[in-house]
Amino acid sequence: PGYQPSCLTAASWWRCVCYFSRRTETGEQGNRSDPVVIRVRSSMSLLKSLEVENFKSYRGRQVIGPFSPFTAVIGPNGSGKSNLMDAISFVFGEKTSHLRVKTVKELIHGAQVGHPVSDRASVTAVCQKDGEEVRFTRTVVGSGTVYTVNKKTVGKEEYALALDDLGLNMKARNFLVFQGEVESMAMRDPRELTPLFEEISGSGELAAEFENRRKAMMQLESEVQQKMEKRKALAAERKTAKVESEEAEKVQKLEKLLEYRVVELELFKLYHLDKEIDESRRKRQSVEQELNRTRSRQQIIDKIMAEKKSEVAKLQRERSTWEKKIRSKESERSKLSLEHGKAKQERDHIGKRLEKERKKLDQLVKAKESHDLEVNSLQSELENLEEQAGVYEREVSGRGTIELSQEELREYRRLKDMSSKQVSAVKERLDKLRRVEQSDEAAARHHKSMKQGLEEQRKNVLDKVQELEKRVGRLNEYLSENRKTLEEQERQYQELENNQTTSADRLNDISTELVEVEGVLSDFHMSSHQEEKRRKRADILSALQSVTQGVYGRVYELCEAKHHRHMIALVRSIGRHLDDIVVDNADTAKTCIKYLRDQALGVEHFLPMADLSVKPVDERLRNLGGTAKLLIDCVKLHNPEVKKAIQFCVGNDILCESVDEARDIAYKSREGRTVITLEGIVFHEFGGVSAGFSELKKKAKRWDEKNIDDVRQQREQLVSEMKRLKKDRTRDAELLTLKTKLEAFRQRQSYCEHDIKVTTEMSIPQAKDEFHKLDVKITETESKISEVTMAVDHSASAVHELEMELNGMEDQVFADFCERINVDNIRQYEEGQLKVHEERAQRLREYHEQITRLKSQLGYERSRRMDGDIEKLKQSIKKDKKEVKEKENGEAEMLKAVEKVSAGLEKLEAAKAEKQRDLDEKNVELSEVKNENGENHRKTLASERRLMTLDSYSDQKCADRHRILRKCRMESVSLPLEEGSELLDSVPLSEAEVSSVGITEGLSGLEDIDSMSSEGARLIYEREEKIKPDYSSLPDELLHEQDGSWVKSRAEEMEAAVLELHNKLRSAGAFNPHASDRLKDTDKRVRDATDELSDLRRRAQKAEKAFMDVQQDRYTRFMEAFDVVKDRVDGIYKSICYQPGAQAALYPDNITDPYLGAIMYECIPPGKRFLPMRDLSGGEKTIAALALVFALRSFRHPPFFVLDEIDAALDRTNIHKVARYVKNECEKGNFQCIVISLKLGLYEHADALIGVSRQVCVV
């Protein structure tokens, strides 16, 4: 529609028939797409026509067709061409989502705007096959669709089979080319072309099965490989078991010899330990007797000291009572002093105000005297002026004039009347001019009077401005002085306040610090025994450092953990070396040991650094990863010289944050490693695990012991500083007095600043503004005076001219009369009379104006009387004098009260001093008792120290005995015992065994005897004394009494022999006594593994065959389609380009499995060299894509194509090529083509045109 007839005449052989749309039943044109069919060349085709009913934009029932071999659908944009494509897609089974709607219901005409014309819509495709007509109908019913073939309702599968018989594949959509598909084909990546071949070939249907079978085959192959590895490992295990069986007999002989040597060594050690323990106990008895004597004396001293302390406490309470009274009096005196200061300040303030009022009164009195003189002067001047006016009136009334007779008067009147009649007009004009002149003169006088008044006002305003400026100057001077005083007062106040604030803040800080210090002290609470033990260790170390050089200190004093959370692990690693003393060499250690023995100070362990055998740090352990790190890296050394000793204690132990990580590092490595967690759990290199947290936490407090004295000293300093600061905070009264003065100064300064501001910003500007306004008014008045003066001069000139004219006329009338009375003219007579009259009136008017002015000025001055202000000021002065007197009386009373309180305070201070002297005397007595107590206490401590040394020595030996017994039980050493002795089973190995015998207090773990408390250890030692080893098996040479060095060297020799046997066993390797049984079991497992491997191989072969079948089927399907498309694409490309030189080629990049790779599509346009597809022009890409589209549909090609605007991206030349190709293919009968197009170059080659319009069309 809309095309000119010339478009049709270009092909005159067309036969056109137009079908017009009908109106609806209501007679209105429907908003729908009505087809206008132009049929050309009626011929047979597979798709004959299309019947749509209420489908999208097609309202009612519309029949579109018949379709020719090459049919073009044309129409303007928005007319419904694409809806025709949707209708064809819908009837041939396309999904709803591809029809540009969300639901099936939206396909009904009007549904998208909310007004569907019906509850159903349908599309029928009329096809022809072998001369028979087949009708395919798809109807929208409710929310679904119904399929019908030849008016018979069928299912979707049957419907698809019927379409497949015609060569139409619903899934592949091989007969539909939608809008934009050609452009997207041209832009596709080679890997995106593969799914297209999978779709048209059907090989994609096998993709899921292909992948599942491939995974199953790979899984079985992996299992076969694992079984093979397992069988290989079992074979190696069988070989190892055979070697173990041969070595077992050799190792058993060495074990028996080792067992004998171990029993001999342990019996030797136990024998000499028992001897040393008995000797230590004998010495302890004598020391204990001396200790009892000193303790008895201590009880007597304690009783005396308690009495002295009671007396001192009583005196301290009495002194506190006096101090409380003194503080109360001081508070009362401070309060009275504050009130006295306030009263004095108020009195000073009233006195200053009284002084100002007196000065102001003097000024008012002087001003009143000056004012009275001025009033009297004005009154005298007024009286003189009134008297002069009366004298003048009397003088004027006595002056004479020319006298006329009655006849002459009548003549004068007659002539005057005659003259008046003659000069009436001129006189009227003259009178008018005179009135104007008088009016101007009056105006001039008024403006001059106004100017005089304005000048007077201006003078008064100027005086006012000057007075205000002087007042501002005086206020600024006062403000400057007040500001200096205020700054000084503020400085003093700020200093005092800062001191008080600093004191308050420091008190708060001290309180907080005291709470923290008390918390630390409470957390570190130790019993007297523990405190004494700590002091004893410190005294011993101090003594050793004074005796010899090279004593560095205890291990826990020389190092600490870098982070607090590593402390438990560090305690666990150092273990029994925590209290050891680090020295430089063995000689220093021997010197210290000799000193300890001589002084009976107990037993200490030493670490001579020069003689320590320390393993070097294994650098590999620093790179384990995770949270693992060397424990030595987590230690902070206070003295770098002792690094070797700390390395000896810690070794190459590893620290981990979690148990799982520690276990993995300890057991999964081939090398034995000791790993410790943050909670103190140890995974030993030999496979054991140690735990226990509470005792480790107690030992970790050793680091806190170093700082406890500093904490106590810090507490004493804080308490002393707090007392000093509390004494300094008694200056609150002085601070309050200064604050009151500052407030008064600030208030006065605020008043002055406000007064200056108001005067400067309001009063002076207002006065100056008024002065300027008066200047403007004066200027305006002078201008008006000038104007009026000019008007008066003009009026006077006009009057003079009329007077001359009037005089001439009067002279003619009065000529004879003037001769008779002997005057020059009548005016001479009249002016004589008038002149006297006017002079008198002028003088009287002047006198009247002066009198009026003086009365006005006198009235103004009298209204300015100052008696009321003076009286008010006198009353205020009287009131202030009375108030000052009252304030002075109150101040004197307050001063007396302060002096009275001060006297009472002095008495209290004297009483307190007396009590203090008594208290000092009692303190001296108490100090003497304390000295005696200290001396006795030192003796007691010395005895206790010797006793503790012996106990420690005995406990150490008992601990050594316990270790030996425990070791014997743990290692199952068959130790011979006397008859009636307890068995080794009574030696506890765990907390459970300790509880079973009733010994639980003080024990947290038995890995080391040092981890026990002394009480718990002694209970165990007492029980172990019942274990009596039988020493009869020992040779006599080992039972002789010898010194300690011989026993030690002999034990070392025996230990070396045992170690040598251990080494032989270790070198021989561990053996398995059940090696033969293990060998049999290994043979059986090898046979089972072989059988399982054979079964898996059979299953793997079956899975591989199933996979190969699916792979071959998929490959066959894919290559069948690919070969057809590959063979056809080059010819189609040549046909479209209409050039034999054009070339197109397809090839897969994966020859074995082409469906898993990319399909490479290359084209060489005619007359050009080879370029990649991405470098071709847009038209060349579209032609290449069209060739591929037609080639893809050549495999099992459908009987017809529906193409939607495939020419959108083509120019006229390329459109002509495509049209020519489609035309040739349709004429050959290869397919039927229905094209939706807007370009004349394409549809002018069609056999038929179908025009789609939204309205009735006229051609």
For the chain (length 1259 residues), average pLDDT per consecutive 10?
A: 30 30 33 39 61 88 86 84 84 79 84 83 87 88 87 86 76 68 71 78 81 86 84 80 73 77 81 81 82 83 84 81 80 76 76 79 77 78 79 62 66 76 77 81 81 82 83 81 79 77 75 69 53 77 83 87 83 83 90 84 87 83 83 86 88 86 76 80 74 64 63 74 65 68 76 80 84 86 86 83 79 78 70 61 75 75 69 80 81 80 79 78 79 79 76 79 82 80 75 52 41 61 80 78 75 83 73 71 81 85 86 84 83 82 84 83 83 77 80 74 77 81 81 83 84 57
Which amino acid would we find at residue 251? V
Owner of token pair 């009472």: 904
| 1105 CB burial (10 A radius; 0-12, 13-18, 19+) | exposed
Report the C-alpha gap between 1167 and 1142 in whole angstroms.
8
Report the C-alpha gap between 1059 and 589 in whole angstroms.
27
Phi, psi of 809 (to 5 degrees): -65, -45
Encoding tokens for residue 313? 């406490």
Owner of token pair 């002028």: 842
Closest CA to 529 of 927, 947, 939: 947
Which amino acid would we find at residue 1161? Y
CB 830 within 8 A of CB 806: no
Residues making up the chain, counted from first to last: 1259
For residue 29, the 8-state DSSP code is P
Q: Strands of 977-1116 (E only): list them.
A: none
Phi, psi of 323 (to 5 degrees): -65, -40
Handedness of CA 414, 419, 425, 430 (dihedral sign): negative
Report the C-alpha gap between 567 and 703 in whole angstroms.
9
Report the C-alpha gap between 187 and 1184 in whole angstroms.
11
Encoding tokens for residue 504? 């308050």
Report the C-alpha gap between 1140 and 1130 in whole angstroms.
10
Scanning 524-554, the segments in alpha helix (DSSP H) are: 528-547
Report the C-alpha gap between 593 and 597 in whole angstroms.
6
Report the C-alpha gap between 1095 and 1089 in whole angstroms.
10
Closest CA to 1093 of 171, 223, 457, 129: 223
pTM of the model: 0.35
CB 825 within 8 A of CB 814: yes
CB 681 within 8 A of CB 654: no
Phi, psi of 604 (to 5 degrees): -135, 150
Which amino acid would we find at residue 561? A
Torsion of CA 540, 545, 550, 553, to 10 degrees: 50
Encoding tokens for residue 1176? 């071709």
Which amino acid would we find at residue 790? M
| Residues forming beta bridges with residue 1251, ordered by sequence position | 36, 74
Closest CA to 116 of 124, 106, 131, 126: 106
CB 1008 within 8 A of CB 1014: no
Report the C-alpha gap between 830 and 413 in whole angstroms.
12
Owner of token pair 């000025």: 857
Within 13 Å, how many C-alpha atoms sit on residue 1068's CB side?
A: 21
CB 953 within 8 A of CB 281: no
Encoding tokens for residue 511? 């309180």
CB 870 within 8 A of CB 295: no
Angle, helix 1212-1228 to helix 1075-1137, in steps of 10 degrees: 100
Report the C-alpha gap between 394 and 392 in whole angstroms.
5
Listing DSSP states for 309-357 in one string gives HHHHHHHHHHHHHHHHHHHHHHHHHHHHHHHHHHHHHHHHHHHHHHHHH
Phi, psi of 337 (to 5 degrees): -65, -40
SS3 call for 419: helix
What is the CB neighbour count within 10 angstroms for residue 925? 14
SS3 call for 817: helix
What is the CB neighbour count within 10 angstroms for residue 266? 20
CB 1243 within 8 A of CB 1237: yes
Q: Give the strand pairing for 1159-1164 and 1143-1148.
A: antiparallel
Closest CA to 822 of 1257, 310, 402: 402
Report the C-alpha gap between 56 and 883 in whole angstroms.
108
Supply the pLDDT for residue 14.
29
Report the C-alpha gap between 648 and 644 in whole angstroms.
6
Owner of token pair 């007064």: 755
CB 635 within 8 A of CB 570: yes
CB 791 within 8 A of CB 442: no
Question: Which contiguous run of DSSP H or E holds residue 216?
Answer: helix 207-397
| Residues forming beta bridges with residue 154, ordered by sequence position | 147
SS3 call for 451: helix
Which amino acid would we find at residue 308? K
Report the C-alpha gap between 334 and 15 in whole angstroms.
130
Report the C-alpha gap between 794 and 442 in whole angstroms.
15
CB 54 within 8 A of CB 60: yes
Question: Which contiguous run of DSSP H or E holds residue 1185?
Answer: helix 1178-1192
Report the C-alpha gap between 392 and 844 in whole angstroms.
8
Owner of token pair 């890997």: 191
SS3 call for 692: coil
What is the CB neighbour count within 10 angstroms for residue 1159? 25
The Cα-based distances of 1086 to 243, 545, 928, 1089, 1097 in angstroms read 17, 71, 94, 5, 17
Report the C-alpha gap between 196 and 1185 in whole angstroms.
13
Closest CA to 1016 of 1038, 1034, 993: 993
Largest CA distance in the chain: 206
Report the C-alpha gap between 1086 and 227 in whole angstroms.
11
